[in-house]
Structure 1
Amino acid sequence: MPRPKPTSYERKPRVPRPLDEEKLRALALRYVERYATTEAKLRTYLARKLREREWQSESPPDPEALCARFVALGYVDDRIYGEAKARSLSARGYGARRVEGALRQAGVADGLRANISETLNPRQALLSFAKRRRFGPYSRTEPDERTVQKQMAAMMRAGHGFDDVRRLMQAASGAELEAEWQDDDAP
């Protein structure tokens, strides 16, 4: 009589196979082909994999050299990642502070973060956020004082500056505000 299949509580946990140079490189390559990433995020991923699995080779692992090689080959580019992430967050209506925090968390260098932040239009992002959430002049109804405070708090949490948020909430219409800010941004 055949033995029945073991139930889930009888199964032994799968033991991960130890890594060597080739397996580590394959893991890194699979990671960068699947996800847009920075050098710091790749380094963190490789460090985690080395902690989770044993090292099989006699030479010590060198994830730093592997990360440097991927950067040199162009598989990982912090500038491209940072610009794409900043554009994405800005288009969704997030302000400069929120974008800066996301780039810092991803491991983008300080100077590069500053260069990327300069290319963003924070007022356009604020308008996008207000339109999407129907705040201020884009609201369908006249909000009460408590609703105005909540809306302002949401815009501040999204990384927008207080002066611009206050101006948006005081605007009579969205078109008037857009025209005013368009004139201010013109050289």
Structure 2
Amino acid sequence: MRSRHALSDRRKKPLDAARLDELALAYVARFATSRAKLARYLSRKIGESDWIDEADAMTSCEAVVAKMDRLGFVDDRQYATMRGASMTRRGLGARRVRAQLRVDGIDEGDAGEAVESAEASATASALGFARRRRFGPFAKAPALDPAQRERQIAAFVRAGHAPALARRVLALTADEAAALDGEPGVD
């Protein structure tokens, strides 16, 4: 028995520049995005469809992305700031923020402010990560096993924190962590 949705049964839908513009507008209305992410989305839609317009598909894609940027629907600097702040609140470090912004297609100039903000709130972010994972001062019981402690440090490093900061947070007592959490300079 053949599946109703087998790939050979599917016909590619026709796509032209006007429909590509509509797809881009719907995408930016629904998601906060960068220029590069919008371009990847539109390129994927072009590949999934049957291009019927006289103009070149990739040229049309670039034109639509430029139009969305010109209209202010896509702003890489604002996207980087928003994405970096969100990741920092989740407890991720500056290295992880920088890497994710690079994946999202944000250049260093637009990502600079977001990365600087993540670096400035590194201690608060690391404390938030420790609280979420119940490491160090937030653990039910202290990690006395050196192997367990190294695994916790590795988790901090994967989250984008410096190993020295991870060791410092893991060495804090509950009172010291509460005092750092309450400092006005720590976000």
Q: Check whether TM > 0.5.
A: yes
Q: Distance in 2 between matches of 1:139 and 1:126?
A: 14
> 96-105 or 56-65, which moves further after superposition?
56-65
Q: Distance in 2 between matches of 1:7 and 1:164?
A: 57
The 4+ residue runs of structure 1 with deviation greater than 6 A are none
Residue from 57, 82, 85 that aligns with 1:84 = 82
Return the letter of the residue paired with 1:125: S
Q: Distance in 1 between matches of 2:116 and 2:3?
A: 55
Q: Identity of counterpart residues, as a percentage? A: 38
Question: If the length of structure 1 is used for normalisation, what is the TM-score?
Answer: 0.86
Within a 5 Å distance, the mapping from 1:1-187 to structure 2 comes to: 8=3, 13-61=9-57, 62-120=60-118, 121-143=121-143, 144-171=145-172, 173-177=173-177, 179=179
Structure 1 position 182, deviation (Å): 7.5
Partner of 1:3: none
Structure 1 position 179, deviation (Å): 3.7
Q: Distance in 2 between matches of 1:35 and 1:169?
A: 37
Question: If the length of structure 2 is used for normalisation, what is the TM-score?
Answer: 0.86
The CA deviation string for residues 123-161 of structure 1, in whole angstroms up to 9 with x for no partner, is 110000001111011111121222111111111111001
Return the letter of the residue paired with 1:134: R
Structure 1 position 180, deviation (Å): 5.7
Is contact 2:85-2:114 (8 Å) kept? no
SS at match of 1:30: helix
Q: Distance in 1 between matches of 2:35 and 2:5?
A: 41
Q: Distance in 1 between matches of 2:2 and 2:181?
A: 66
Compared CA separation, residues 10 and 68, structure 1 to 2 (3 A): closer
Superposition CA RMSD, Å: 2.3
Compared CA separation, residues 21 and 180, structure 1 to 2 (3 A): closer
SS at match of 2:157: helix
For these two proteins, the number of residue pairs brought into alignment is 180
Return 5+ residue gaps in structure 2 as ranges. none
Return 5+ residue gaps in structure 1 as ranges. 1-5
